[in-house]
Amino acid sequence: MKIALAQLNYIIADFKGNSEKIILKIEEAKSQGADLIVFSELAISGYPPDDLLDYPHFIESCSNALSDVAKSAVGISAIVGCPLENPEQVGRRLYNAACLLEDGIVKDVVYKTLLPTYDVFNESRYFEVNDQFRTISIQGVKTAITICEDLWHEMDRFDYQDNPIAELCKESPSLSINISASPFNRDKIDERLKVLQRQSKYSKTPLIYVNQVGAHTDLIFDGNSRVLDSDGDTILKLSEFKEELAYIDLEDSQSFIKKEEQEEDDLNILHRALVFGLKDYFNKMGFKKAILGSSGGIDSAVVQALAVEALGKENVLAVMLPSQFSSEGSVIDAVELSKNLGNPYEIIPIETAYKSFESGLSNLFDGLSFNVAEENIQARSRAVYLMAISNKLGYILLNTSNKSEMSVGYSTLYGDMCGSISVIGDVLKTDVYNLARQINKEQELIPVSIIEKAPSAELRPNQKDSDSLPEYDILDGILKLYIEHQKGPSSIIASGYEKATVERVIKLVNGAEYKRFQSPPILRVSPKAFGRGRIMPLVSRW
């Protein structure tokens, strides 16, 4: 059997665009003599459609689009993911389905069993659980079809009661297929490969795995579709962060070229994920140009470099907004950065605006010493300028806050937390520095002086981040354990961190939840990102 793997980038609710893309690949695979083409989970609707699944006319549109796609499946079989109602089901009838298309119709349907409800997933909110396990025949081959999480029944976090693979293997299939919408994080690629290897060995069959590629606001999908033989060895691998149509003939042993699994540099994959996520967000939203505040600091420098790579230098406007507390070196560094990257820039001092606010508040502030209020006026003045330019010129504001600062509330609401998308809000400060060095690997784009200078918000004389926070290597170690690994204070202290520092950091994290609740969407690149993957109460005694 010659099988085509269609790793595609879909847009949620773009039924016309998704259907046309699927049909085009079906025709292409047919012209190449493929017997079967496999698409990813919920390809018709795009994944994740979230509460659109609650709208009856959305489900009807999915069904109509599936019927249109099925008409092209003549002379070839196709497996396509789609939300689908089971008319024979009593009560809740909506399923996450894998549909077998043959002879111009939906020939058979398999439903998803394991519905993830952890981290960024909430599928049991919408779908019913499958309780019927059976293989289906495709071109005379007994095939076990599963959908994404169905392969993940044994997880470190918990064990599911059902084991779809074990149930399907009772019928001795000759082939296994998994259609997936598995989002990227920095730990996921290796973890996912281990799951696929375990399942192909368990079923003793070749495993066809097709994952979607693309970004849906905060979620980035890396693709990495592949075929594994019954020994768990990869014999075909598709690209990361790229649409691709690939073929394998399971009856032709000459086509079985085992792929050596080489670990990609972590910073390189992080770099590529952020560029891809930002680019796809702009493409799907119909945005063309970006604006950001360029401070001469490390965070805005990294975001600016990523944006230029993703969107093109002519489409990124860097605006330097120095106050009376900004050092001359910071402005010089910011200008040099824009010259290195080749993007346009503007310099707009904010001292006049700041003094106007100061004058207007003088009666209320009379006799009170300079504190965070005056610091925040500067941050919010910058946001006013940036948003004014955004509104007038149609540029989309990029948020430049990093995960460390957002974690502990070292950021200003309606100031530096403004933006349409947070580019590095899931990247800890120490990794921001590492990214800067990685960006400079071939040539110095980010001035070394930006990388080497002590981090500072420059909102008061001689200010440094370390005046208010632990050193970033210590802070980030605690944050990684507390947020990404969900360790408690005693466990973190036992790992070697000072008790007072741990307690202070955790108090800062918990106390800043109300700020993060109002932050822009964050490109997710870690196992636990702020946003939909970490939902915490704003009011609690935790």
Q: What DSSP state is assigned to residue 433? A: H
274, 423 contact by CB (below 8 A):
yes
Q: What is the mean pLDDT of residues 260-271?
A: 82
CA dihedral over 340, 344, 345, 346, signed as positive or negative: positive
Q: What is the mean pLDDT of residues 285-314?
A: 97
Q: Report pLDDT digits (tens) over 362-379.
A: 999 999 999 999 999 999
Whether 269-465 and 2-252 are alike in CATH topology: the answer is no
Tokens, residue 492: 């973190």
pLDDT band (50, 70, 90) for residue 288: very high
**What is the dotted CATH code of the domain comprising 269-465?**
3.40.50.620
Q: Of the CATH numbers 3.60.110.10, 3.40.1410.10, 3.40.50.920, 3.40.50.300, which one belongs to the domain with range 2-252?
A: 3.60.110.10
Q: Given a cut of 80, is residue 9 above it in pLDDT?
A: yes
Q: Given a cut of 70, is residue 39 above it in pLDDT?
A: yes
Q: Given a cut of 90, is residue 44 above it in pLDDT?
A: yes
Strand ranges inside 129-206, DSSP E: 136-138, 141-147, 175-180
Task: List, in order, residues 6 or more apart from 438 with CB less than 8 Å away.
Answer: 267, 268, 271
The DSSP result for 366-378, as a single string, is TTPPP-HHHHHHH
Q: What is the mean pLDDT of residues 461-472?
A: 82
pLDDT band (50, 70, 90) for residue 542: confident
Q: Given a cut of 60, is residue 470 above it in pLDDT?
A: yes
The predicted model scores a pTM of: 0.94
Strand ranges inside 68-224, DSSP E: 77-85, 94-102, 105-111, 136-138, 141-147, 175-180, 207-211, 213-216, 219-222
Cα 297 to Cα 208: distance, rounded to the nearest angstrom = 46
Q: Report pLDDT digits (tens) over 390-437.
A: 999 999 999 999 999 999 999 999 999 999 999 999 999 999 999 999
Tokens, residue 391: 């509104």
Cα 206 to Cα 177: distance, rounded to the nearest angstrom = 8
Cα 105 to Cα 103: distance, rounded to the nearest angstrom = 6
Domain boundaries defined on the chain = 2-252, 269-465, 470-511
The DSSP result for 121-144, as a single string, is --GGGT-PPP-----EEETTEEEE
Cα 434 to Cα 440: distance, rounded to the nearest angstrom = 10
Cα 27 to Cα 245: distance, rounded to the nearest angstrom = 12
H-run or E-run covering 291: strand 290-293
Cα 512 to Cα 270: distance, rounded to the nearest angstrom = 26
Query: Any idea which residues carry the catalytic annotation?
Result: 41, 112, 148
* Chain centre to alpha carbon of residue 508: 26
